Chains A and B, each alone.
Chain A
Amino acid sequence: MSFPTAVEAQLERRRRKWRPVLWLLALAGVAGLFLAVLLLIRVLQSGTPYHEGEEAHFRHGSIGAEPASGIPYKVWMALPELYPAAFEPEGDYRAFGFLYDEGSDLPIGISRRTVAGVDLVWFNCGVCHTGTVRETPQAEPRTISGMPAHQLDLHGFTRFVLDAAVDPRMAPDPLRAAMRDSGHGLGPVEGLIWKVAVFPRLREGMIDRAARLGPLFERQPPWGPGRVDTFNPYKVLAFGEDARALSEDEVVGAADFPSIFLQGPREGMQLHWDGNNPSLAERNLSAALGAGVTPETADHAAIERMARWLEDLPPPESPHRPNPAAVDRGRSIYMEGCADCHGYQGEEGYVFEGDRLGTVEPLGSVGTDPARLKSYTEAFREAQLRELFAGTPYAFRHFVKTDGYANAPLDGLWLRAPYLHNGSVPTLQDLLLPPEQRPVTFRRGGDVIDPKGGFVSETCSAGSGCFDTRLPGNSNAGHLWGTGLGEAQKSDLLSYLLTF
């Protein structure tokens, strides 16, 4: 081939000489592009596993709490390695009362979602509403979806996370080593992504949360197992209020996890302990926010799927087998004095009927501890309506400030101990006692069925789960209905209540 100029010939020689290199570079470029796309897909990957069964979805399906509140799965799995003392004796999250399904590495109520390529885990509904029961101390625990997570020490777990935020072991190097030791090490590319994006954000997020919640916890007694302060953490985390500025009246608000069986018939009733909202949908979303969901991250489809399942989820049949004659007599007493407010247990299941069922009983009438009622303030309600889901079909419209506690249906009553909204009375039998005779202290968190209605709980003076009714928010006063009955009548009434 001839060229018109020496320069063109030289350029062609140079092109020919470099052509293999250019091809290699082009191939390397294509390979690099391919890897970059893979990396991008990995980084931008988002999604959450789909669980076929409704109960599996309830226990492990994500409702959208992970993006804003979650921690990386690998960190979750490494924490027992990093803080062995906090996870004794089992060496896993059972130390805080979390429950495990057979073969699952994550506890019930901990869901998983990939956000920008990082697997995150955090709470779903199942964490607070799944518990265990045993008929005898030797029996294997039976896990029941929908019952209160009476064994879960959410306060203790949160306290642990907040302490870890400022602990040197949460620095990237020890954490990375713990992740490797727990079998969840990082690959080279993943390590780079974590170094740049995950470790700094994780620590910053934890420190930020600790800075907000720490002052609140300093002003509250520990919630104890099976209890949560629903609204005060919400105030400081979602609305940015300073915990130190909360009034004395509102700053303590811990109450029991409720059971969530048979939600369908509850539509229109005053829901929540204080009956502040008659809309199941709004109550569900509000509860999801409490689990760490934000208006931006809420997985409405997943939440609604759970809600549909819960509409018809019946409580398991009571294992108590009281004397049928006593049950009959007790039914009569109940129908006369209790059913109007609480509905009743019929032959075919629970009957959600009663003139005052699902309405708010004024505090002056019910007489129970006011702390939970006061923790839900008018200012908080206004913030909820103003800021949460505003401008969307999910905007809150039905929240109200009430003056008492709601008359709740008692379905699945055998699983709902300790009793009253704040879980201050260990058994049904104790509830029929005048407040001054009710146990002053008792240990929460047990799951062995007590013939007195509830779970076996001895009195205590200190230690894990020891509940002191003398502390703020823990009063066992009020709900005097039935306390004036004779012993025989109380026994009959208890027999009937044990069938709920």
Chain B
Amino acid sequence: MTTDADTDPIFRPLAFRNLTVPNRIFRSNISGRFDNEDGSLTQTRINWECRFARGGVGAIISSYVPVRMDGRIIAGYATIHRDDFIPAWARLGEAVHANGAKFIMQLSHSGRQMDIPGVHNMHRPAPSPTSAPETLHGFLTQAMSTGEVRRMVRDFARAAWRAREAGLDGVELHAANGYLFTQFLSSAINDRTDAYGGSLRNRARFLLEVIAAIRDTVGRDFHLQVKLSATDHNNVLPWEGRGNTVADTVQVARWCETMGADALHISTGSLFPHPLNPPGDLPLDVLAITYDAMISSGVNGFRNYLLFRYPTLRPIFRWLWFRMKKGRPVEGVGFDEARIIREAVGIPVISTGGWQDAGAVREALGHVDGVSIARSLVANPDLPRHWAEGRDLPPEPCTYCNKCLVGAPKLPMGCHELSRFPSREAMIDRLMEVYDTKPELRIPEAS
């Protein structure tokens, strides 16, 4: 059985002001450590993105792409901080287009949320609106001066220009999930006393200036969307402030629309990962074998590692993490907030958070314009085809175990839920598929 593309809301094209996406399914930003230390991308990343394009998504929102080297969350993710990277990104765009999908580059800066700083950043604190260390891992920060903020605005605009030069279909500002924009926006994190701190308007100033700068640089006809966390829920550690509310974010969303954003992508949480994003389990036993890669990244790393490493201590972290999930669904965890924001703005809104069931997605599309999906597509890159063929769920759906998430600092990106595979070998074969490259090896020129 197949569904009628004309009547199925999932498969109706979504027309933004400057971009039309063939259906309502967006591959949300997710990545592995596929790329080179200098930030240049690899064939593996092209393979990775094409896997989802082939699967039938309407658009791919790239993995987190830093606009500067001091904004990497994990060394090994491709960046867009150099003009000479434009051709490689252009190849990636071509590859995705060849498989029928659009490609939107997510422009990002880690700010204080720098999980693995790498050789470029290990010697310095991360630029951030605050000098207060990040609270969960103890990542170090250095408050940016006003001049540095302005330089950061310029760097985002320049990165957007590079994306356009590469022929990509648009850019998304990653202003959600605890990265640099969130750090400015959040009342629980931003402790500045200059024009970029204090009131909501001031805290939003950096984001709005970036939107304005991008428009100045790339013009009015290049797709620009903004990913926002509807609610901060910043009090994962109970003594922390709660941060921004959905009412705050509605206001920020309206400002974004006014400044020229073409769409909004709504998530939740002022850090990543967060108990509500991505929703589902948090496998502490897997963290016990992967978090060691992050011990030296923050001053609280070893403390956290002990909490994961020793089963008798795990209930402490389990309590911290899981108390926020009570009473909340996994699928569509942020849908209600996305709907509230959609009702407040005139531009399309994409909702993310655990989407996997076609029925739930169809129902959601009555209120929002698109859904973005990461883990369910990692588990089943051809999920759109299952939906198109009339199945609400694929035969082996994502279990929301989040092993792919906690494996990111140390393990290859992909599904690590053994129960979904006939054997361990099959799982590893699947993980290795993206590395199946045929590189055109080049002999360096003799000096």
Which positions in A face B, CB cutoff 8 Å?
Answer: 4-8, 10-11, 14
Contact = CB atoms under 8 A, between A and B. Distances in A.
A10 B122 contact: no
Contacts of A7: 122, 138, 140, 296-299, 301
A14 B299 contact: yes
A4 B123 contact: yes
B125 interface: yes
Interface in B118-142: 122-125, 138, 140
A11 B300 CA distance: 10
Contacts of B138: 7
A10 B125 CA distance: 10
A10 B299 CA distance: 8
A491 B281 CA distance: 110
A6 B296 contact: no
Interface of B: 117, 122-125, 138, 140, 296-299, 301
A10 B124 CA distance: 10
B123 A11 contact: no
B33 to A, nearest CB: 19
A7 B296 CA distance: 7
Contact of B124 (A6, A8, A11, A14): A6
A7 B300 CA distance: 10
B123 A5 contact: yes
17 contacts: A4-B122, A4-B123, A5-B122, A5-B123, A5-B296, A6-B123, A6-B125, A6-B140, A7-B138, A7-B140, A7-B296, A7-B297, A7-B298, A8-B296, A10-B140, A11-B299, A14-B299
Nearest to B133: A10
Nearest to A5: B122
Given A5-B122, A7-B297, 18 more contacts: A4-B122, A4-B123, A5-B117, A5-B123, A6-B122, A6-B123, A6-B124, A6-B125, A6-B140, A7-B122, A7-B138, A7-B140, A7-B296, A7-B299, A7-B301, A8-B296, A10-B140, A10-B299
Nearest to B139: A7
A42 B213 CA distance: 78
B72 to A, nearest CB: 14
A11 B297 CA distance: 11
Contacts of B296: 5, 7-8
Contacts of A11: 299
Contacts of B123: 4-6
A17 to B, nearest CB: 12
Contacts of A10: 140, 299
A6 B138 CA distance: 12
B305 to A, nearest CB: 14
B124 to A, nearest CB: 5
Nearest to A13: B299
Contacts of B125: 6
Contacts of B297: 7
Contacts of B298: 7
Contacts of B299: 7, 10-11, 14
Contacts of A14: 299
Contacts of A4: 122-123
A70 B314 CA distance: 51
A360 B287 CA distance: 89
What are the 8 tightest A-B residue pairs by CB atom distance, in nearest-first order?
Answer: A5-B122, A6-B125, A6-B140, A6-B124, A10-B140, A10-B299, A11-B299, A6-B123
A4 B118 CA distance: 11
B43 to A, nearest CB: 31
Nearest to B121: A6
B118 to A, nearest CB: 11
B232 to A, nearest CB: 25
Contacts of A5: 117, 122-123, 296
Residue of A5, A7, A10 with highest tally of chain B CB at under 10 A: A7
A5 B122 CA distance: 5
A327 to B, nearest CB: 91
A7 B140 CA distance: 7
B359 to A, nearest CB: 47
B172 to A, nearest CB: 30
A276 B297 CA distance: 87
A5 B298 CA distance: 10
Nearest to A4: B122
A29 to B, nearest CB: 21
Contacts of A8: 296
A10 to B, nearest CB: 6
B380 to A, nearest CB: 39
A14 B125 CA distance: 15
A264 B69 CA distance: 103
B71 to A, nearest CB: 15
B226 to A, nearest CB: 30
A344 to B, nearest CB: 84
A11 B301 CA distance: 11
A10 B139 CA distance: 10
Nearest to A8: B296
A4 to B, nearest CB: 7
A7 B295 CA distance: 10
A5 B123 CA distance: 4
Contacts of B140: 6-7, 10
A5 B124 CA distance: 7
B301 to A, nearest CB: 8
Contacts of B117: 5
B5 to A, nearest CB: 52
Contacts of B301: 7
B133 to A, nearest CB: 8
A10 B138 CA distance: 10
B295 to A, nearest CB: 9
Residue of A4, A5, A8, A14 with highest tally of chain B CB at under 10 A: A5
A4 B123 CA distance: 6
A337 to B, nearest CB: 89
Nearest to B138: A7
Nearest to B295: A7
B75 to A, nearest CB: 13
A4 B121 CA distance: 11
Contacts of A6: 122-125, 140
A8 B296 CA distance: 8
Nearest to B301: A7
B87 to A, nearest CB: 34
A4 B117 CA distance: 12
Residue of B123, B124, B297 with highest tally of chain A CB at under 10 A: B123
A6 to B, nearest CB: 5
A180 to B, nearest CB: 47
A15 to B, nearest CB: 11
A5 B299 CA distance: 11
A4 B138 CA distance: 17
Residue of A5, A6, A8, A11 with highest tally of chain B CB at under 10 A: A6
A10 B297 CA distance: 11
A7 B117 CA distance: 11
B113 to A, nearest CB: 14
Contacts of B124: 6
Nearest to B297: A7
A455 B355 CA distance: 110
A8 B138 CA distance: 12
